[in-house]
Chains A and B, each alone.
Chain A
Amino acid sequence: MDAMSRRAFAEQLALTVAAPWFIEDLPKAPAPSPQPQQQEPSALAKSLAETVRLRYPDRFTAEDLITITRSIDTRLGQIERLYATALTNADEPDFVYSVYRGAD
C-alpha cells in the first residue's frame, strides 16, 4: 500500500477542517497517526483562536479552544498552497459584481 504523501494528507486535513464529510473521495488518513494534529499549534493559530475566544468569551471550554486552535492551525498550513499558485493582478475572483438600478 502506498503511503499517503504529506501533501495529500495536508490536503485532506484542510477539508476536514471545513467539514469532514466534504473529504469525499480523498484518501482516508490512517486514524492512529494524524501527526500534524499532534504538533504544537503555531503562534499565529493560537492568536487567531484567541480572537475567536474574545468574540465569544463565555462559550468555550479549554478543550473547545484546543479543537478550534488545531482547526485554525491546519487551515493555515493550507494557505501556503493557495499562495504557491501563481496569480497576476489581472486574475480576478470567480464572481462578477453587477450594478443595480431599480425601476424609475
Chain B
Amino acid sequence: MDFAFLSVVELGRLLREKKTSATELAAYFLERLERIGPRYNAVVTVTRERALAEAAQADREIRQGKWRGPLHGIPYGVKDLLATKGYPTTWGAQPYREQMIEADATVVEKLGAAGAVLVAKLAMVELAGGKGYTQANASFTGPGKTPWNPDYWSGGSSSGPGAAVAAGLVPFAIGSETSGSILTPAAYCGVTGLRPTYGLVSRHGAMALAWTMDKLGPMGRTIEDCAIVLGVIAGKDPKDPSSVARGFRMTTSRAAKFKIGVPKGADKDIQPEVAANFRQALQVLEDRVEVVEDVELPDLPYGAVAGMIIGAEGVSAFDDLLKDGRQAQLTAPEDRMGGYPALAISAADYLRALRVRRLMQRALDDFLKKFDMLAVPTRTTVASPIDKPFREAWPGFTGGANVIGPTNVVGVPGVSVPNGFGVQGLPTGLSFTTRAFDEGKLVTLGRLYQSRTDWHTRRPPTPSP
C-alpha cells in the first residue's frame, strides 16, 4: 500500500482497522528516509532500532486493545535540535556532530507516551540560523532542498521537517521557530506548519537559540494533523519554567464569520503569483470571512527588540562555542563570524529591549483583539535557489507586510497552509496569525480552507531513481 502521502488521520484509521501495523508503517517510512532523504539533504539520523522497538510495542498494545490515541503507531521525525536518547543530537552544526544527550526532550517523551514512533532526526540550519546565515548552504548536511524542485531551498531553519513531510518521508515532524523557522519551510515545501504560542509547548531538551523566543511546533500534511500533534505536545512541564498550564484541544467552532485583517501592503510589490494565490485563497473563504483591508500594526521597534533579544540571548546560549573557537567549524562562512558583534550589546540595552517588549505585547494584543486573525502570504516570494545568497534570489520584490517578525517577538501563534504554486513549480503559503492561545481559531479556519482546496494533497514530482 502507498502510505507515503496519507495523513495522520488516514494512517490512524488503517491502524485501527488492522489494515496495517505500526511495524509495517515504521519499516515503510524508514526505507523512504534512507532511500529518498539524502536527495533533499533532509535527514541527519535514521533511528531504525528505536523505531522498530517502539513500533513493536505499539503493535503489542494495539493487539491487546490498549489504544493510546490518534498518534499510536504513527511514525514521525524531529528537527535535530531535540534531544533523543541513544542517538546524536547535532543541532545541524559540525561542532556538535557527535554530541550525545542521554535524555529525551519533553516533546519526544510526550509523543512516545502517545504511542508515536520516532523514525528520524531531521536536518536543520546550523544552530537554527542563530549565527546569521545568508544562503542555503548552512548545515553540515548541506543545503536543504525542497522536493518540489531540488534546485531550490527547503526554507529554514526547520529544513528537514519541511522537506521530509513534503516528500512523504514522515507523516509529521516537529520543527522549531524563533522567527519564521516553521512557517518558512512549511511555505517553501508546500506543507502545513503550526507555530504555537510561546510557552504552550515545553522547550525542555531543545537547543536554545533565544530562550524567550523559541517555540516548538508540528509540521504535517494537514492542519488537522498538526492540531492532533499539538494536542499531545502542549502543556505545562516542570522542566520548562516558561511553559504554561494550558493544553490544546481541537474544537469544532462554527463561528458564522471570521474577521480577518489584511495588513497594509501585504500583497504589494511581491511576486505576482504569490499575491494572486493569496487573493484567491481569501476568495475561497469569502462566505466565512469578513476581510478588513490595510490594517496597520502598532508602530513599535519590533526589529530593534528582536535584534537585541536574539543577539544577546544567542551569543550567551553559545558562549562556549565562541570562547573555544569551535564556531570556526560551522559550514556557512558568515556563521563563523556571527555572534561576535553581539558581544558588544550592553546589559542595559538588552534589558531595555525586554522592557519595551512588555509594552509591545500589550499593544499587539490590543490590536489583534480587533480581528479573529491576520492573513498574509507566508513569504513574499517562492523559495530561493540554493546556489544564490538570499538577497540576490528574487531582486525587485521589496514589498510585503512584516508580520512574522513582530508576532514572533511577542510569541503569538501562526500557521502556514499551502495555497498554490508560483514560478518554477514552487509552492506558496497562506499564513494566519492570532492572539496568544487562540490556536483553535487558526485550526478552525485552516480546516475550512483545506476542506475547500486540495493544495495540501498535491505531491511533489517523483524523484528519478
User: A52 to B355, Cβ gap below 8 A?
Assistant: no
In the bound complex, how far is the Cα of B402 from the Cα of A98, in angstroms?
Answer: 34
A85 contact set on B, CB distance < 8 A: 300-301, 356, 359
User: A26 to B304, Cβ gap below 8 A?
Assistant: no
A4 contact set on B, CB distance < 8 A: 398
Stretch of B231-239, B341-349, B449-457 with 4 or more beta carbons under 8 angstroms from chain A: B341-349
User: B352 to A83, Cβ gap below 8 A?
Assistant: yes
**In angstroms, how far is the closest chain A Cβ from the Cβ of B156?**
6
Contact digits for B389-405, partner A, Cβ 8 Å, 1 yes 0 no: 01110010111111111
**In angstroms, how far is the closest chain A Cβ from the Cβ of B410?**
9
Contact digits for A58-69, partner B, Cβ 8 Å, 1 yes 0 no: 011000100110
User: A18 to B358, Cβ gap below 8 A?
Assistant: no
In the bound complex, how far is the Cα of B301 from the Cα of A15, in angstroms?
Answer: 11
- CB nearest to B241 among chain A residues: A98
- CB nearest to B266 among chain A residues: A25
A64 contact set on B, CB distance < 8 A: 337
For residue B73, CB closer than 8 A to chain A, the reply is no
In the bound complex, how far is the Cα of B334 from the Cα of A64, in angstroms?
Answer: 10
**In angstroms, how far is the closest chain A Cβ from the Cβ of B315?**
10
**In angstroms, how far is the closest chain A Cβ from the Cβ of B321?**
13
A11, A28, A68, A84: which contacts B302 (Cβ < 8 A)?
A11
User: A21 to B402, Cβ gap below 8 A?
Assistant: no
| B161-205 with Cβ < 8 A to chain A | 178-181, 184
User: A94 to B344, Cβ gap below 8 A?
Assistant: no
Contact (A95, B133) CB under 8 Å given A25-B379, A27-B399, A51-B344: no
User: B402 to A25, Cβ gap below 8 A?
Assistant: yes
For residue A91, CB closer than 8 A to chain B, the reply is yes
**In angstroms, how far is the closest chain A Cβ from the Cβ of B277?**
16
User: A81 to B304, Cβ gap below 8 A?
Assistant: yes
For residue A93, CB closer than 8 A to chain B, the reply is yes
| B355-381 with Cβ < 8 A to chain A | 355-359, 361, 376, 379-380
**In angstroms, how far is the closest chain B Cβ from the Cβ of A33?**
12
For residue B310, CB closer than 8 A to chain A, the reply is yes
User: A30 to B398, Cβ gap below 8 A?
Assistant: yes
For residue A43, CB closer than 8 A to chain B, the reply is no
Stretch of B38-46, B62-70, B124-132, B245-253 with 4 or more beta carbons under 8 angstroms from chain A: B124-132
Contact digits for A5-48, partner B, Cβ 8 Å, 1 yes 0 no: 00000011011111111111111111100000000000000001
- CB nearest to B134 among chain A residues: A20
For residue A104, CB closer than 8 A to chain B, the reply is no
| A63-104 with Cβ < 8 A to chain B | 64, 67-68, 71-72, 75, 78-79, 81-85, 87, 91-95, 98
B461 contact set on A, CB distance < 8 A: none
In the bound complex, how far is the Cα of B192 from the Cα of A67, in angstroms?
Answer: 37
Contact (A91, B307) CB under 8 Å given A2-B269, A19-B129: no
- CB nearest to B308 among chain A residues: A82
For residue B329, CB closer than 8 A to chain A, the reply is no
Interface of A: prevailing SS: helix
B398 contact set on A, CB distance < 8 A: 1, 4, 27-30
- CB nearest to A71 among chain B residues: B341
In the bound complex, how far is the Cα of B241 from the Cα of A39, in angstroms?
Answer: 44
User: B303 to A91, Cβ gap below 8 A?
Assistant: no
A12, A25, A49, A67: most-surrounded residue (chain B CB, <10 A): A25
User: B303 to A52, Cβ gap below 8 A?
Assistant: no
In the bound complex, how far is the Cα of B324 from the Cα of A56, in angstroms?
Answer: 10
B345 contact set on A, CB distance < 8 A: 75
In the bound complex, how far is the Cα of B130 from the Cα of A56, in angstroms?
Answer: 20
Contact digits for B132-165, partner A, Cβ 8 Å, 1 yes 0 no: 1110000000000000000000001100000000
In the bound complex, how far is the Cα of B14 from the Cα of A55, in angstroms?
Answer: 60
For residue B244, CB closer than 8 A to chain A, the reply is no
User: B353 to A31, Cβ gap below 8 A?
Assistant: no
User: B405 to A26, Cβ gap below 8 A?
Assistant: yes
User: A82 to B353, Cβ gap below 8 A?
Assistant: yes
A27, A75, A94: which contacts B402 (Cβ < 8 A)?
A27
User: B340 to A68, Cβ gap below 8 A?
Assistant: yes
User: A55 to B402, Cβ gap below 8 A?
Assistant: no
A11 contact set on B, CB distance < 8 A: 301-304
A19 contact set on B, CB distance < 8 A: 129-133, 179, 310, 314, 338
B interface list, Cβ under 8 A from A: 125, 129-134, 156-157, 178-181, 184, 212, 241, 265, 268-269, 300-308, 310-311, 314, 325, 337-338, 340-345, 349, 351-359, 361, 376, 379-380, 390-392, 395, 397-405, 408
A interface list, Cβ under 8 A from B: 1-2, 4, 11-12, 14-31, 48-49, 51-52, 55-56, 59-60, 64, 67-68, 71-72, 75, 78-79, 81-85, 87, 91-95, 98
Known: A27-B402, A93-B358. 14 other contacts (CB 8 A): A17-B341, A19-B129, A21-B180, A22-B310, A25-B403, A28-B380, A30-B398, A52-B343, A78-B303, A82-B304, A82-B305, A87-B352, A94-B357, A98-B241
9 contacts between A and B (CB under 8 A): A11-B301, A15-B405, A24-B180, A28-B391, A87-B355, A93-B351, A93-B355, A94-B212, A98-B241
Q: Which 5 A-B pairs have the closest CB atoms?
A: A24-B404, A71-B341, A93-B354, A11-B303, A81-B301
